[in-house]
Amino acid sequence: MKRRMIAVGLGIALSALCGASLSLAKEQICRAEMDKFCNGVAAGEGRILKCLQEHHADLSAECRAYVNTAAQYVACLDDVMQLCPGTQPGSGGAMKCLRVHQGDLSAGCKEALHKAGR
């Protein structure tokens, strides 16, 4: 039951970050970059995030930080569910837990955290 609640909470956070928030980002943080590099990319299934990642070097510092955070959520979602079952979404506890379990992280999560310097 706890695992399901965590999965739902992280799913909502991920959905907000990668779905609805990318719409918001288009109006704010990453608007210029999305218009320039991802104009023809259909929203959904992480396609816009992937497009922005492909243009990482060309992004503004603010947009790059936003994209890095979204990528970490995607890459580490399974790790958090497996290694940090008591973590409350949005509390910062997931990142602390992932640091404690550095040796047990998946390769994708390790890479995402390394790229972000965490």
Cβ atoms of 79 and 65 within 8 Å: the answer is: no
Q: Cα dihedral angle (47, 49, 55, 60), rounded to 10 degrees?
A: 150
How is the chain split among helix, strand and coil, in percent rounded to 5? 75, 0, 25
Q: What is the mean pLDDT of each run of 10 residues along the chain (118 residues)?
A: 48 46 59 92 88 93 88 87 82 85 92 78
pTM: 0.61
Q: What is the pLDDT of residue 17?
A: 45
Q: What is the pLDDT of residue 118?
A: 58
Closest CA to 66 of 25, 107, 32: 25
